[in-house]
Amino acid sequence: MPTDETKDSPLKTGGAGLTRRTLFELAGFAVAAAALPFQPTAAQEQESAIPGDPSGISPIMEELSAYMAEAKDRALPAEVVEKVKQHILDTLGAMISGSELPPGRRALQFAREYGGKPVATVVASDILCGPIEAALANGELGHSDETDDSHGPSRSHPGVSVVPSALAAGELYGISGAHFLRAVTLGYDVGTRVTMAMGGPAYQAATHRSTHSTVAAFGAGAAAGCAASLDAQKMRLLLDYSSQQASGFGVWKRDAQHMEKAFVFAGKPAAGGVTAAILVRSGWTGVDDVFSGSDNFFEAFGPRESGVLKADPSLLIEKLGGRFEVTRTNIKKWSVGSPIQAPLDALVNFFKQRSFTAEDVKSVVVRIAHDEANTVSNREMPDICMQHMIAVMLLDKTVSFHSAHDLQRMKDPVVLRQRAKVEVLADERIDARRPRREAIVDLTLNDGTHLNKWVRDVRGTAQNPMTRDEVADKARDLIAPVLGARSCAALIDKVFGLEDAKDIRELRPLLQRS
């Protein structure tokens, strides 16, 4: 709880007497008012009317905004429904397990102290708060570590911004389970296409901006806008407000505690998406097409080569409605950083080939891409340290959420002895395969046996997807230790039957601690 000094000190940017408590109380009233139907006066309608000249809105924006507005009523293919359920469950598992980690604990503290009006669920707690605060807290929970999903072509982690945003807005407006599934699906489709239109992973290298944050801002906005049932014009305004909140740059890599990273990837954009939807639904005006015309989003954010803008806005609508990006999004089999997934898969393959113990191993050489080696080699956090996780896998023959987050084992002499056998090398052959997460692993036993595996299709990727049972098994590992086996089982069943839920708030008792 805040101290007396904190409660009573005015914010530097506010007038005398404007305290943090007062600010969040006002925010709560604003959210409550925004949830009511907006009834503009005749003068307001004239002021906010769409310009009569259709040339002010590009054909790309016309198609995109119409698609977004119709998404809440558009039936999804059965295979897409199944896939989005798996990603929702996987993201909820990341959020719940994240409550046990430092970023998650700080997120819960924030929600409890500055929660606003009790409208939306903060998972793994007994907290109800305003939808903006709930989205921020749940996003931070979801990316408290490296458990959540990832989308290679856009270089992003869409689930941890899209699902918290859709959940918070969905609770605010009382949407059905089917509507929620469609909102989440739309978030994946819109957010990922934005950075793909700017070159995908190359965009971050060229601009130092975070693809993860950019995707999340638009994905969370689209999901919340769908939950808010915005029409086509309001969807255009939503994209405008989402663009103004797109931020984040590569400095997050210096944060050793994963807290700022979670804020950039998930917490901030999830809250921003809900904010944009609420404001636009309540009548705020803006620019009808932020993707074209003077000073547009691509001119401001897009990479340039020799002064020439390297962006293709047409990719915003490429195969829209035919290619669903959630089906191209990876679910991690192991609760570790993405570059470590393939090497762990290789070790599982070796265990199947022949029987051996950690003490039988002489050396392990792991070859991955240069950018991946920089990310996961000898890191101080266990779940993103390649050498440590290889050592744990050699000893345990598997990796659980608990073993991937056990800081004490990083000092264990038994683990350190195995870790000393592991060498991580950057390999140009793997560079050429990016953004795919591939690896070449060479393992040598003391008797001279040599095992080699080039893992091209990591388990959980679109090319080698996990089954429903595998996703559920991972969810049990993440959820049951926090909420208990019975609540975990009920939550899994509820998620896989979401299309039958009349109100998304039915999830609330299954997501919270009693």
Q: Are 85 and 190 in contact (CB under 8 A)?
A: no
Mean pLDDT, range 15-33, rounded to an integer: 40
- Residue type for 11, please? L
- Residue 120 φ then ψ, to 5°: -125, 155
pLDDT for residue 423 is more than 60: yes
Burial class, 175, CB count within 10 angstroms (exposed 0-12 / middle 13-18 / buried 19+): buried
SS3 110: helix
Position 146 scores a pLDDT of 87
SS3 helix, strand, coil % of the chain, rounded to 5?
60, 10, 30
Residue 41 pLDDT class (50, 70, 90 cuts): very low
Which helix (H) or strand (E) segment is 444 a member of?
strand 439-445
Position 226 scores a pLDDT of 98
SS3 240: helix
SS3 289: coil
Burial class, 138, CB count within 10 angstroms (exposed 0-12 / middle 13-18 / buried 19+): buried
pLDDT for residue 25 is more than 50: no
pLDDT digits (tens, 9 = 90+) for 268-295: 999 999 999 999 999 999 999 999 999 9
Structure tokens at 64: 């995109």
Of 56, 287, 323, 15, nearest to 193 (Cα)?
323
Q: Are 325 and 156 in contact (CB under 8 A)?
A: no
For the chain, give the percent of residues with pLDDT over 90.
79
Q: Are strands 422-426 and 361-368 parallel, antiparallel or unpaired?
A: parallel
CA angle (282 as vertex; 281, 286 as ends), nearest 5: 75
Q: What value does the mean pLDDT of the chain take?
A: 90
Position 22 scores a pLDDT of 39
Position 11 scores a pLDDT of 31
Mean pLDDT, range 135-159, rounded to an integer: 95
Cα(324)–Cα(341) distance, integer angstroms: 24
Q: Which residue has the higher pLDDT, 37 or 474?
A: 474
pLDDT digits (tens, 9 = 90+) for 293-349: 999 999 999 998 888 888 999 999 999 999 999 999 999 999 998 899 999 999 999
Of 131, 128, 110, 107, nearest to 118 (Cα)?
128
Mean pLDDT, range 105-127, rounded to an integer: 95
Position 9 scores a pLDDT of 33
For the chain, give the percent of residues with pLDDT over 70.
89
Structure tokens at 362: 């002489």
Cα(386)–Cα(459) distance, integer angstroms: 17
* Chain centre to alpha carbon of residue 119: 22
pLDDT for residue 43 is more than 60: no
Q: From residue 134, give the alpha-carbon distance in Å to each of 16, 83, 213, 514.
A: 28, 25, 18, 18
Cα(138)–Cα(299) distance, integer angstroms: 32
DSSP secondary structure string, 2-58?
A: --HHHHHSBPTTS-TT-BHHHHHHHHHHHHHHHTSPP---HHHHHHHPPPS-GGGS-
**Is 3.40.50.720 the CATH number for 76-332+468-514?**
no
pLDDT for residue 35 is more than 50: no
Position 514 scores a pLDDT of 75
Q: Are 245 and 217 in contact (CB under 8 A)?
A: yes
Residue 250 pLDDT class (50, 70, 90 cuts): confident
Rg (CA), the chain: 23
Q: Are 166 and 136 in contact (CB under 8 A)?
A: no
SS3 416: helix
Position 32 scores a pLDDT of 44
> What's the sign of the alpha-carbon dihedral 433, 304, 261, 422?
positive
Position 434 scores a pLDDT of 86
Cβ atoms within 10 Å, residue 473: 14
Q: Residue 491 contacts by C-beta under 8 Å, 6 or more apart in sequence?
A: 89, 92, 475, 479, 483, 507, 510, 511
Structure tokens at 442: 């060479």
Cβ atoms within 10 Å, residue 59: 11
Instruction: Quickly name the fold that domain 338-455 has.
Output: 60s Ribosomal Protein L30; Chain: A; (3.30.1330)
pLDDT digits (tens, 9 = 90+) for 48-87: 333 334 448 999 999 999 999 999 999 999 999 999 999 9
* Chain centre to alpha carbon of residue 171: 19
Residue 436 pLDDT class (50, 70, 90 cuts): confident
Each domain of the chain, given as residue ranges in start order, spans 76-332+468-514, 338-455
User: What CA dihedral angle connects 110, 112, 115 and 119, to 10 degrees?
Assistant: 130
DSSP secondary structure string, 307-321?
A: TEE---GGGGSTTTT
**Stretch among 172-176, 202-206, 491-495 having the lowest mean pLDDT:** 202-206
Position 431 scores a pLDDT of 95
Q: What are residue 75's DSSP bridge partners?
A: none
Cα(408)–Cα(504) distance, integer angstroms: 40
Residue 412 pLDDT class (50, 70, 90 cuts): very high
Position 8 scores a pLDDT of 33
Q: From residue 145, give the alpha-carbon distance in Å to each of 54, 99, 111, 415, 450.
A: 46, 10, 19, 21, 34
Residue 251 pLDDT class (50, 70, 90 cuts): confident
Cβ atoms within 10 Å, residue 296: 17
Position 305 scores a pLDDT of 86
Burial class, 42, CB count within 10 angstroms (exposed 0-12 / middle 13-18 / buried 19+): exposed
